[in-house]
């Protein structure tokens, strides 16, 4: 069983993360990484909601500022300097997400004309669409948690930059896909292939950003992602979302958790949710059939399995949301059947957490990816804020 003192364990994980990465005490050159920091923001706000300790709220707010100051600017070893959005220093501080945000990889991005080295590319900087959507989600949660509409506006502006920078268009101008990885200034693709779930992730996350702006600000018309949402919706039609990668399955469950609470109960919306859950079930069964959870821990990657655990922790929330509907979602028998099948695996999330908990304090494979492992383990322990689209956020002023 997951221990009763989940808050204490999560707080310990997040405290050592804050110290190790230069968040607190603030380092001259903090180690910021966009994916991990997005989870961390949600964790810190969740810890504040659960404990009332202002330190966690302060960490969340300071982390957002630090990410923008570090990843919203060019690297120290880049020939370019200043904000990657091209704005002057004062304006850039007010619009830190207008040009996107760097990944935070250890190596500089590949130069124009330099041949692709697939092994090195994993360690090279640039921008990832699916990292930007994670940060949009974190900013939306910050907007709800603090009541500061500026976070939601930054989220929408980041969505605008991401869509403009990553969208692939035909000669006639029609949206036909998304690039996997772009240069820091969004001027050229570094990896042209499209991520399997990027269009879906963008479709849901952009709606979340619109929802956050509408809920926290009277100035709804200031930013609008409607055209981008429509284009991404078209890219989501008749797609097979199935993956047997545990992190990918967890991401689909995270998407389904948000989708049920964001979209209207139109037939196409119900179809999309049903296809998502069916893909989750098929992928989960394929993953379990491979018996990788029976391998020695040294042969497994904690953060990928913890991504699955986080998604599985959302299954009861998903079931509750569907049960509360009275029309499209709640009445479609096939949707309820696939959800019932998935709910049988809900305890697997806790089993994965319990398997990794003893390793979080040890040397070995855990330390090879300690930052992302620590943060995602904390999310799996206290997942409510991360899996929310605002309803979790009691105002944390």
Return the SS3 of 205: helix
C-beta separation of 127 from 100 below 8 A = yes
| Secondary structure of 325-382 in HEC code, one letter for each residue | CCCHHHHCHHHHHHHHHHHCCHHHHHHHHHHHHHHCCCCCHHHHCHHHHHHHHHHHHC
Listed in order, strand segments (DSSP E) in the chain are 127-128, 167-169, 175-178, 181-182, 189-191
- Report the 10 Å Cβ neighbour count for 81: 9
C-beta separation of 49 from 385 below 8 A = yes
- Report the 10 Å Cβ neighbour count for 256: 29
Give the Cα-Cα-Cα angle 236, 234, 163 (nearest 5 degrees): 90
> Of 191, 156, 194, 155, which is closest to residue 175 (Cα–Cα)?
194
Question: Cα separations (Å) of 166 from 56, 83, 132, 158, 227?
Answer: 34, 19, 11, 12, 15
Cα–Cα distance between 93 and 176 in angstroms, integer?
33
Residue with tokens 């910050």: 142
pTM for the structure as a whole: 0.95
C-beta separation of 117 from 217 below 8 A = no
Cα–Cα distance between 346 and 187 in angstroms, integer?
43
Q: Where are the domains of the chain?
A: 98-112+121-239
pLDDT at 394: 47
> Of 346, 322, 345, which is closest to residue 335 (Cα–Cα)?
322
pLDDT at 265: 61
Cα–Cα distance between 319 and 309 in angstroms, integer?
16
pLDDT at 3: 63
Stretch 275-296: mean pLDDT, rounded?
96
Stretch 44-62: mean pLDDT, rounded?
96
Stretch 2-8: mean pLDDT, rounded?
81
Across the chain, mean pLDDT equals 92
Tens of pLDDT, residues 307-348: 999 999 999 999 988 887 755 565 667 888 999 999 999 999
> Of 381, 266, 376, which is closest to residue 40 (Cα–Cα)?
376
Tens of pLDDT, residues 17-28: 999 999 999 999
Indicate the range of 93-107, 158-172, 221-235, 368-382 predicted with least confidence.
221-235
pLDDT at 222: 56
* Residues paired with 177 in a beta bridge: 168
pLDDT surpasses 70 at 219: no
Tens of pLDDT, residues 198-207: 999 999 999 9
pLDDT at 14: 97
- Report the 10 Å Cβ neighbour count for 20: 13
pLDDT at 79: 93
DSSP 8-state symbol, 73? B
Cα–Cα distance between 105 and 74 in angstroms, integer?
12
pLDDT at 101: 98
Question: Cα separations (Å) of 231 from 202, 242, 310?
Answer: 10, 22, 29
Cα–Cα distance between 165 and 179 in angstroms, integer?
9
Cα–Cα distance between 104 and 106 in angstroms, integer?
7
Tens of pLDDT, residues 72-106: 999 999 999 999 999 999 999 999 999 999 999 99
List of residues 6+ apart from 11 with CB closer than 8 A: 47, 51, 53, 56
Is the preceding peptide bond at 25 cis, omega within 30 degrees of 0?
A: yes
Where does the pLDDT of residue 396 fall: very low under 50, low under 70, confident under 90, or very high at 90 and above?
very low
pLDDT surpasses 60 at 191: yes
C-beta separation of 126 from 58 below 8 A = no
pLDDT surpasses 50 at 397: no
Where does the pLDDT of residue 4 fall: very low under 50, low under 70, confident under 90, or very high at 90 and above?
low
Stretch 39-63: mean pLDDT, rounded?
97
Indicate the range of 6-15, 186-195, 289-298, 332-341 predicted with least confidence.
332-341
């Amino acid at each position: 069983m997951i221990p009763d003192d989940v808050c204490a364990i999560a707080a310990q994980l997040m405290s050592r993360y804050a110290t190790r990465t230069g968040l607190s005490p603030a380092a001259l050159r903090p180690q910021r990484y966009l994916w991990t920091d997005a989870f961390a923001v949600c964790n810190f706000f969740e810890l504040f909601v659960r404990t009332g300790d202002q330190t966690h709220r302060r960490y969340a707010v300071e982390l957002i500022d630090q990410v923008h100051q570090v990843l919203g600017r060019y690297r120290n070893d880049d020939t370019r300097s200043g904000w990657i959005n091209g704005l002057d220093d004062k304006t850039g501080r007010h619009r830190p997400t207008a040009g996107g945000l760097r990944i935070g990889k250890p190596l500089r991005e590949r130069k124009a004309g330099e041949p692709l080295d697939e092994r090195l590319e994993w360690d090279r900087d640039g921008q990832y669409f699916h990292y930007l959507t994670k940060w949009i989600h974190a900013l939306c949660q910050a907007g709800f948690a603090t009541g500061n509409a500026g976070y939601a506006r930054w989220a929408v502006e980041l969505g605008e930059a991401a869509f403009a920078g990553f969208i692939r268009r035909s000669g006639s101008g029609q949206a036909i896909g998304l690039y996997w990885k772009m240069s820091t200034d969004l001027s050229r693709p570094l990896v042209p292939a499209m991520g399997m779930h990027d269009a879906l992730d963008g479709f849901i996350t952009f709606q979340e950003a619109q929802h956050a702006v509408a809920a926290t600000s009277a100035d709804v018309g200031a930013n609008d992602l409607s055209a981008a949402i429509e284009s991404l919706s078209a890219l989501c039609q008749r797609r097979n979302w199935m993956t047997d990668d545990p992190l990918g399955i967890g991401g689909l469950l995270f998407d389904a958790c948000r989708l049920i609470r964001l979209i209207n109960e139109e037939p196409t919306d119900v179809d999309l949710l049903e296809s998502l859950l069916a893909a989750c079930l098929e992928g989960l069964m394929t993953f379990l059939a491979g018996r990788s959870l029976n391998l020695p821990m040294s042969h497994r990657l904690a953060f990928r399995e913890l991504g699955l655990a986080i998604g599985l922790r959302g299954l009861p929330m998903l079931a509750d949301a569907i049960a509360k509907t009275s029309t499209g979602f709640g009445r479609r028998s096939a949707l309820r059947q696939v959800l019932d099948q998935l709910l049988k695996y809900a305890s697997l999330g806790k089993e994965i957490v319990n398997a990794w908990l003893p390793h979080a304090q040890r040397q070995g494979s855990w330390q090879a990816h300690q930052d992302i492992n620590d943060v995602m383990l904390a999310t799996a322990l206290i997942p409510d804020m991360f899996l929310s689209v605002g309803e979790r956020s009691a105002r944390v002023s």
